[in-house]
Amino acid sequence: MNTPPGTPWLTVQTGSAPLLLCMPHTGTDIPAELEQDFVSPWLARRDTDWWIDRLYAFAGPLGASVVRTGISRSVIDMNRDPSGASLYPGQPTTELCPTTTFDGEPLYRDARVPAPAEIQRRRARYFEPYHRAVAEQIARLRRTHPRVVVYDCHSIRSQIPRLFPGTLPNFNIGTFSGASCDAQLTRAVEKACDAGGWSHITDGRFKGGYTTRHYGRPDEGVHAVQMELACRSYLREPAVPDASNWPVPWSAAEAQPLQAILERVLQACLRFALHGH
C-alpha cells in the first residue's frame, strides 16, 4: 500500500489480479481550515460509507487493487460528476461539494457554503488526484489483462425517506442500466448475492455513480459495477441515528456473514475478468 506524493489522504494498494476496488466515501478527514465552516463535525461525517475499508479487507489477498480516499464526502464527493450535472435528474441527491446531508439538513453555517472558486480548488486538490489514481490503476491492469472489473464500494443507511421510499434491499447493484459492464458480469454478481438469501436489486434507486458511468467501457475491456450495501447488512443500524449511536462501532462478528457473500461476489468478478463468464 502506498500514498502518492503530495496526497497524504490517498492510499493505493496495487495487486496483480484484474480487479480494482474504489472507495470514494470511506473517508472522514475534514481539513482544519474547513472545520469551522460546517454546522458540526458529526453531521459532516454522518453520511460516510462506514467501515467499508474493513468490510473489504479480504480483497487484498485475492490480488485486488484498491484506491481509497481519506477525505470526507462532505468536503468533496469523489463519486459525483465534476461538471455539476445530476446523476439522477428529478430526484433528490447531493452535489460535488454537498451543501446538505442525505436527509436535507444544511451542512454549512450561514454564508460559508463553498463558492465556485472554492469548489474548483477542492476539485483540483482532491477530486482530480483521486481519479488520476483510479485511471492509472485501470491502465496498469489493462496492460496485462484483456478485461478488468472496476468495483465501486458503497454503503448507506437502510431508510432515508428523502432519497428512496421504504427500506433499501441489502444489495443494490448498479450498472448504469447495463451500459457500464457486460450482462454476464451482472448475472454473475446477482447469482453470488443470491447465495445469502438476502434481498437484492439491479439498477434500482442506485444505478451507479460517476465512477461506474465514467470508467465502465465494456467495449474497451473495462467493466464497472457499483455495489451499494444497506448498512443493516453488516452492523446494528439504529432506527434514528444521532451523535450518541452513530456510527456503530465496527464488529468483525457482525460483518462476517456479509463478508462471506462479498467474497463470493468478488470471486465472481475475478472469474469474469479472467475467463469472460
Calculate mean pLDDT across residues 75-83. Answer: 96
> Domain boundaries in the chain?
10-275
Rounded to an integer, what distance in angstroms lies between the CA atom of residue 159 and that of residue 163? 9
pLDDT tens-digit map of 34-61: 999 999 999 999 999 999 999 999 999 9
CB 230 within 8 Å of CB 172: yes
Q: Does domain 10-275 have CATH number 3.30.70.1050?
A: no
pLDDT mean across residues, the chain = 95
Cell 458480469 belongs to 185
The three cell numbers locating residue 93: 441527491
Q: What is the pLDDT of residue 3?
A: 81
Question: Residue 19 pLDDT > 90, yes or no?
Answer: yes
Rounded to an integer, what distance in angstroms lies between the CA atom of residue 196 and that of residue 198? 5
Q: What is the pLDDT of residue 5?
A: 78
Q: What is the pLDDT of residue 29?
A: 97
Using only C-alpha atoms, what is the Rg of the chain? Answer: 18
Q: What is the pLDDT of residue 277?
A: 76
Where residue 87 falls among pLDDT bands split at 50, 70, 90?
confident
100 conformational bin, left if phi > 0, alpha if psi -120 to 50, beta if neither: beta
Task: Tell me the one-letter amino acid at 245.
Answer: N
The mean-pLDDT minimum among 7-21, 83-97, 149-163 falls in 83-97
* Strand, coil or helix: 18: coil
Q: With pLDDT > 70 as the criterion, what percentage of the chain qualifies? A: 100
Question: Residue 251 pLDDT > 80, yes or no?
Answer: yes
The rounded Cα 180 to chain-centroid distance in angstroms is 15
Question: Residue 96 pLDDT > 90, yes or no?
Answer: yes
* Strand, coil or helix: 148: strand
Residue 239 DSSP symbol = S
pLDDT tens-digit map of 259-269: 999 999 999 99
Cell 455539476 belongs to 84
Q: What is the pLDDT of residue 4?
A: 81
pLDDT tens-digit map of 139-194: 999 999 999 999 999 999 999 999 999 999 999 999 999 999 999 999 999 999 99
**Residue spans of alpha helices (H) in the chain:** 41-45, 52-55, 116-122, 128-142, 183-194, 210-215, 252-275
pLDDT tens-digit map of 109-142: 988 999 999 999 999 999 999 999 999 999 999 9
Rounded to an integer, what distance in angstroms lies between the CA atom of residue 224 and that of residue 151? 6
